[in-house]
Amino acid sequence: GTETLSFQDAVAARRRFARFAGERLLGALYLAAEPVAVPRDWAVEQLSQAHADQRARLAILAGRPGKGSEDKGAIVCSCFGVGARQIAGAVVAGCHTVEAVGEALQAGTNCGSCRAEIRSIIHAHRLQAAE
């Protein structure tokens, strides 16, 4: 059978819905007066995940990974599924070259098409740290 979970915050004018068929997420809808900050890549990933327990299902309504899960950010390295937030985390942890990021996360070590974007993430964090 199918199950629909919903959440409503009348004061903030927010409504959220998630529909499941067994353990599979069929879809989610997030409505609000202001832009909804749900990580798109994370949300799309949920369509192929199993959501057997209530905690996993409630994370869908919350619109963000639950405790112990990670929001990778927009995928930068499609060869290894590495996201921008993961790369930024590696930079903060001390990876200051594309090669160092590759050693830590494998990003940029296969086809190389993401190396320029990795370099720009490193550069952006250096500028931010300098401010």
Q: What confidence category does residue 126 fall into, taking pLDDT thresholds of 50, 70 and 90? A: confident
CB 71 within 8 A of CB 85: yes
70: pLDDT strictly greater than 70: no
1: pLDDT strictly greater than 90: no
46: pLDDT strictly greater than 70: yes
How crowded is residue 120: how many other Cβ atoms within 10 Å of its Cβ? 13
CATH superfamily of 75-130: BFD-like [2Fe-2S]-binding domain (1.10.10.1100)
pLDDT score, position 69: 62
User: Please, what is the angle between helix 84-92 and helix 98-105, to 10°?
Assistant: 110
Domain definitions of the chain by residue range: 2-62, 75-130
